[in-house]
């Protein structure tokens, strides 16, 4: 029996997510309402009357042409990519109905980010590669991707090969290894079947020392509510100025809170680290099923010496572990091992947790209407 794709209700989508171990928070039906300026739709993959897959599609309309849009499925859709539940169905069976649906909706291009990992490097492997820069090695590896992975997925590579055959084009990303929108390389910590003592012992010496230093300095970590987002945002803006990125407005985080925390759901948590009766740092964590993500972080320059960021991470990891999560996700890192790279510090910080770097297949595009796709790309490039 062939697969059909059609619109489903948010309630149907939520029921699907509730029955899965986890999906990306970017594929929650609520996430569409977070993204102002995009239309959104929940899609279901059906075999007969049975729902066998689901996804959130965001539509970015062409200015002044509402019936033409870019369709985007961030870190999705949630289908049987590896043919584990439905071995008789090919990738073509899953994706051709998606393309047909998006074309009927007026999409000129479909962009998606299959949640498929291809390679993994343990922290010790990365540390050894970094050490080659200080050990006088004549040709130290410049990138994580240039080192031998500890794990790789033949099935994941088959997905890549099939997408290429089907006419999908992979986003090239930039020199740092980032994809077009979502990170291709992330850093994660395995929590499943490990005690908190095991996890703490996996941190490097600097991380353990900084957590203890924060505790000794009297840094306290508490959970905040929606009214505390303004305080978070104030130091987030300070962080943006210090680290040279454009901050999101307070309204974005308030919308995130309202959409992700509703009807008994509490997916988004705000953590506040105080020192000497003032806010020193704050973070946001999202949880869906067995997966927890460090989403946003902010800190003051004045309080760096008491290491509030390490205290926050340890509290979030501890809470994710207590909630039964299998993975704590520190999100994106650059594909770099070069200590002189301005993005190296973030890699080094996350490697200190003793987890692993993971590469995904990246983001892929399928052009449905070439002239419109070229015109939109030109518009985006001029917009900057």
Per the CB < 8 A criterion, the answer to whether 39 and 58 are in contact is: yes
DSSP one-letter string for 214-259: HHHTT-EEEEE-GGGHHHHHHHHHHHHHHHT-PPPPHHHHHHHHHH
Residues 53, 5: Cα–Cα separation, whole Å: 9
Q: Residue 359 and residue 351: Cα distance in Å, rounded?
A: 15
Please give the average per-residue pLDDT across 236-265, as a whole number. 95
pLDDT of residue 180: 52
Cβ atoms within 10 A of the Cβ of 160, count? Answer: 18
The 10s digit of each residue's pLDDT in 315-326 is 999 999 999 999
pLDDT at 179 over 50: no
pLDDT of 108 higher than 80: yes
Q: What are phi and psi of 46, to 5 degrees?
A: -120, 135
E strand or H helix at 314: helix 308-322
Range from 59-73, 153-167, 239-253, 369-383 carrying the lowest mean pLDDT: 369-383
Are the C-beta atoms of 219 and 274 separated by less than 8 Å? Answer: yes
Q: What is the C-alpha to C-alpha distance for residues 133 and 114, in angstroms, rounded to an integer?
A: 34
For 43-52, 65-74, 176-185, which range has the lowest pLDDT when averaged over its residues?
Answer: 176-185
What does the pLDDT average to over 72-76? Answer: 97
Place of tokens 């959104």: 40
**For residue 176, what pLDDT band results from cuts at 50, 70 and 90?**
low
Binned at pLDDT 50, 70 and 90, residue 57 comes out as very high
Nearest to 41 by CA among 95, 99, 102, 112: 102
- Is 297 within 8 Å of 308 (Cβ atoms)? no
More confident residue, 66 or 371: 371
Residue 1 pLDDT > 90: no
Kind and range of the H or E element at 94? helix 91-104
Q: Report d(CA 152, CA 137) in Å as an integer.
A: 26
How much is the average pLDDT of 183-192?
97
C-alpha 20/C-alpha 7 separation (Å) is 19
Q: Are 359 and 156 in contact (CB under 8 A)?
A: no
Contact yes or no for 298/326 (Cβ under 8 A):
no
Q: Tell me the domains of the chain and their CATH numbers.
A: 3-113+363-383 (3.40.630.30), 117-152+171-360 (3.40.630.30)
Q: What confidence score (pLDDT) does residue 175 get?
A: 53
Q: In this structure, how many other beta carbons lie within 10 angstroms of the beta carbon of residue 137?
A: 11
Instruction: Indicate the pLDDT class of residue 340, thresholds 50, 70 and 90.
Output: very high
HSE at residue 108, side-chain half, CA atoms within 13 A, is 18
Cβ–Cβ < 8 Å for 269, 278: no
Average pLDDT, the chain: 94
Residues 285-305 pLDDT 10s: 999 999 999 999 999 999 999
Contact 293, 329 (CB under 8 A): yes
Q: Is 48 helix (H, G, I), strand (E, B) or coil?
A: coil
Using the structure block, give the residue that is written with the tokens 């993204």: 35
For tokens 């479909």, name the residue. Answer: 110
Spatial distance between the Cα atoms of 264 and 119, rounded to a whole number of angstroms: 37
What is the value of pTM for the model shown? 0.95
- Name the token pair of 235: 């130091």
The mean per-residue pLDDT over the stretch 331-339 comes to 96
Indicate whether 376 pLDDT > 50: yes
């Amino acid at each position: 029996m062939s697969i059909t794709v059609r619109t489903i209700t948010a309630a149907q989508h939520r029921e699907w997510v509730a029955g899965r171990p986890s999906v990306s928070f970017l594929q929650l039906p609520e996430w569409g309402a977070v993204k102002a300026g995009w239309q959104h739709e929940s899609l279901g993959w059906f075999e007969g009357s049975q729902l066998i897959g689901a996804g959130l599609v965001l539509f970015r309309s062409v200015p002044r042409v509402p019936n033409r849009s870019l369709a985007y499925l961030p870190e999705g859709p949630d289908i049987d990519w590896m043919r584990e539940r439905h071995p008789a169905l090919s990738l073509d069976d899953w994706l051709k109905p998606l393309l047909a649906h998006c074309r009927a909706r007026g999409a000129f291009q479909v962009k998606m980010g299959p949640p498929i990992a291809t390679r993994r490097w343990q922290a010790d492997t990365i540390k050894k590669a970094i050490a080659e820069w200080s050990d006088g090695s004549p040709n130290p590896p410049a990138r994580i991707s240039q080192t031998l992975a500890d794990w790789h997925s033949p099935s994941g590579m088959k997905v890549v090969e099939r997408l290429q055959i089907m006419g999908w084009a992979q986003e090239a990303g930039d020199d740092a290894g980032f994809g077009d929108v979502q990170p291709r390389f992330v850093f994660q910590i395995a929590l499943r079947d490990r005690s908190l003592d095991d996890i703490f012992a996996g941190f490097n010496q600097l991380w353990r020392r900084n957590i203890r230093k924060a505790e000794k300095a009297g840094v306290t970590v508490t959970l905040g509510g929606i009214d505390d987002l303004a305080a978070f945002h104030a130091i987030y803006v300070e962080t943006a100025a210090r680290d040279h990125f454009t901050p999101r407005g307070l309204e974005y985080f308030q919308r995130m809170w309202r959409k992700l925390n509703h009807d008994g759901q509490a997916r988004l948590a705000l953590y506040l680290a105080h020192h000497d009766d003032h806010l020193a740092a704050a973070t946001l964590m999202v949880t869906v099923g067995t997966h927890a993500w460090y989403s946003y972080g902010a800190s003051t320059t004045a309080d760096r010496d008491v290491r509030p960021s390490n205290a926050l991470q340890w509290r979030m990891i501890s809470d994710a572990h207590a909630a039964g999560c299998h993975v704590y996700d520190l999100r994106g890192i650059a594909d770099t091992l070069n200590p002189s790279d301005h993005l190296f510090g973030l890699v080094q910080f996350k490697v200190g947790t003793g987890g692993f770097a993971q590469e995904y297949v990246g983001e892929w595009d399928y052009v449905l209407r070439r002239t419109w796709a070229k015109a939109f790309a030109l518009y985006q490039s001029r917009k900057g």
